[in-house]
Structure 1
Amino acid sequence: MQNDMKKLLKLNLWVLVVLLVGFSGCYHQQPKNNEGTPELTAEQLDSLSFSASHHYSNNYNFVVKADSLPLIRQQPEEVVSGVALDTLYVMHNNHLVVADIRIVPASGEDSVWVQLARDQSTFGWINETQLLPNVVPDDPISQFISTFSDVHLLIFLVVICVIGMLYLALKIVRANAFLVHVRDIDSFYPTLLALLVAASATFYASIQLFAADTWRHFYYHPTLNPFSVPPLLSFFLASVWAILIIGLATIDDIRHKLPFSDAMLYLCGLAGVCAVNYIVFSISTLYYVGYPLLLVYGYWAVSRHMAYNRSRYICGNCGVAMHSKGRCPHCGSFNQ
């Protein structure tokens, strides 16, 4: 009996210890000062507000894309007052870092002034409206976007694509070769790739048209990860990755279906069609014409492939795919 009482007492003590440890572990005293989000100074709040609206701030890196960029050694307030200016120039491809940003209301609409530094001895001020068209963020993705958004490059691409497509069309007609949408192979990948490029170009122009600020933030802070951006940009990046994957699948499929020379000619024609799609749909969407044009193009491309380029039958003698019943083009056997 006495042993039972001792065991019960020990059990009660263990239960008490477990309860005390449990309750003390659940207790959490609210800190008087939130260490995770300390109070910000007025200067820090202004910097965060500027970064949210302009998408860059102090210590941001640019690269000069113009032939040269003038920087003023004097303070912005002195520039506004009309003093004699001491100007220095930074040249093409120079790397610059934002050292300071100042708002000068006396400058009117061009009130934002940015101090840039190339090195410790070369720095000066420039107005934001003069700065941004002549620089590009120091990131390869941003530089790629800037290059393919250049108006002069687009005009050049249009001319090159028109000349190239005319040459390829003439060569393909003379050689009786294959061409996507015209004399296509028995594969849906080329048609899908062309449609995907057209849809991506339309969506790319739509973002610039209806969500310009979102696209501008992506331009200053680019990424290729579709899971780290808002849904709009996530869908666009997913389409870019899809183009890459479908493109690799297309090359592999063409390689197995055509001889090397015919495959190279077909790939050149496919690249030309994709380039034309990118230019046409990215420009026409800015004028709202791209949306009905994409619907018409998609319906025409899919229906043409299903009607003329899909093999629905297989030869009973040699097993070669056939577009229709009748005599096999490979072995000559007649299939009913």
Structure 2
Amino acid sequence: MNIDRNHTVRQLFRCACAVAAILLLTSCYHRKQTTHDATVTYNAKQLDSLSFQTKHHYTNNFNFIVKADSLALIRQQPEEVSALLPTDTIYVRKHDHLVVADIRIMPTDSIDSVWVQVARDQSTFGWQRESYLLPKVVPDDPISQFISTFSDIHLLIFLIVIVGILAGYVIRKLMRKNAHLVHFRDIDSFYPTLLTLIVASAAALYAGIQNFAPDVWRHFYFHPTLNPCSVPPLLAIFLSSVWAMLIVGIAAVDDTFHKLPAAEAVLYICGLIGVCAVDYIVFSILSLYYIGYLLLAAYVYFALYRYATKSGTSFICGNCGRAMRRKGRCPHCGAWND
């Protein structure tokens, strides 16, 4: 009887300790109050900063890198410049890192109402008009720097000339040697044709975004990403096509080395790179003037027609087991197939 009573007391004591521990832990927990963006209150300066960021895609504490040889900054305030007072100028050099320290709107300025103060360090800072500043800097991001480099008109003209000469030379050599070349004497693989179509479509889409949604592209330039799921639909399609180029390109190279000997495969890949380079330049430029879209439709038809009629294989040699386009003598082993 005493044993049962002691056992019951011990069980009740354990339950009381467990309840006390739960109550202590519960009392120590503090639920953080959930605050929705719609209920957050901003002061006037914060509202101005958010409004400016929406239109200009950057704001205070944004990081730039100087891409020009030099950039002049004015030490005095914008009001002193507008009043034609004496000013001091300092220069920052190429590759210097800058941060946006302040932004001021000057409605009385007849040249540019937006003035931006940037700083290289605590002792090197100054003001400059936005229209003068932005062409000489680039956002501090590798993707933005890549976009800025390939958007340079001088580099674009240089690339057009070089790519045109090299592609013409490579294609001419391949045609004279009767070597394999995409669209003309293609291999039995759809990956190279698919790669050229993806490159051409991505180039036309790139030009289309710049034509019809320039603000979307501008925002992407200041806040780039390689994640298609975190951008608007147009940019998501474009980024997906960029990833598709990489995946299909790897598949095309791998399949080429399986279909051709190593030396012929290298020549074929060089020709494929040349065709893709021409596709990119032609469609990215002509689509800016709307001609590229009609040309793209014709190119898709041409590429698919050539692959279906010149590259498809319907027969297998009974002697060596290699693919054949038509009945008759095998081009690989010379055996006759009826």
Q: TM-score, normalised by structure 1?
A: 0.88
User: Aligned pair in 2 of structure 1 residues 313, 35: CA closer, same or farther (>3 Å)?
Assistant: closer
The separation in 2 between residues aligned to 1:176 and 1:154, in whole angstroms, is 32
Superposed CA offset, 1:159-186 (max 9, x none): 0011101221232133221111121111
What corresponds to 2:30 in structure 1?
A: none
Cα distance, 1:260 vs. partner?
Answer: 1.6
Distance in 2 (CA, whole Å) between partners of 1:264 and 1:207 is: 35
Q: 209, 227, 230: which one pairs with 2:229?
A: 227
1:327, distance to aligned residue in structure 2 (A): 1.0
Listed one character per residue, the Cα deviations across residues 225-264 of structure 1 (whole Å, up to 9, x for unaligned) are 0111111111111111111100110111111111222111
Alignment of 1:201-216 (within 5 A): 201-216=203-218
For 1:278 and 1:131, how far apart are their aligned partners in 2? 30
Match of 2:197 in 1: 195
Matching residue of 2:312: 310
The offset of 1:66, in angstroms, is 0.7
Deviations 1:243-302 (A, max 9, x none): 110011011111111122211111111111111111100110010001100000010011
Number of equivalences: 305
Say which of 94, 100, 121 aligns to 2:102: 100
Alpha-carbon RMSD: 1.4
Rounded to whole Å, the distance in 2 between the matches of 1:34 and 1:246 is 45
**Structure-1 separation of matches of 2:222 and 2:136:** 14
Partner of 1:175: 177
**Which residue in the other structure is 2:258 paired with?**
256
SS of the aligned residue for 1:324 comes to coil
1:148-167 matches, within 5 Å, as 148-167=150-169
1:135 aligns with 2:137: yes
Q: CA deviation at 1:217?
A: 0.4
Is structure 2 residue 187 aligned with structure 1 residue 185?
yes
Query: Counterparts of 2:94 and 2:111 in 1: how far apart (Å)?
Result: 27
Residue 68 of structure 2: SS of its match in structure 1? coil
For residue 25 of structure 2, what is the aligned residue in structure 1? none
For 1:3, the equivalent position in structure 2 comes to none
Provide the rounded CA distance (Å) in 1 between the counterparts of 2:183 and 2:134: 42
CA distances 1:187-219 after superposition (whole Å, capped 9, x unpaired): 111111011000000001100100000110011
State TM-score, norm by structure 2: 0.88
Aligned residue type for 1:320: R
In the TM superposition, residue 223 of structure 1 has moved relative to its aligned partner by 0.4
Q: CA separation in 2, counterparts of 1:197 and 1:35?
A: 43
Deviation (angstroms), 1:39: 1.1
Which piece of structure 1 moves more, 147-156 or 115-124? 147-156
Q: Give the aligned residue type for 2:243.
A: W
Give the unaligned 5+ runs of structure 1.
1-30
Letter in 1 for 2:222: Y
**Separation of aligned partners in 1, 2:50 and 2:130:** 17
Instruction: Note the alpha carbon deviations across 1:8-59, whole angstroms, 9 max, x for none.
Output: xxxxxxxxxxxxxxxxxxxxxxx9x957643100110000000000000000
Matched with 1:246 is: 248
1:324 to 314, 323, 326: 326
Task: Find the counterpart in structure 1 of residue 6 from structure 2.
Answer: none
For residues 104 and 82 of structure 1, what CA distance do their matches in structure 2 show?
14
Q: Please give the alpha-carbon distance, in whole angstroms, between the structure 1 residues aligned to 2:267 and 2:116.
A: 51
Give aligned-pair identity as a percent: 65
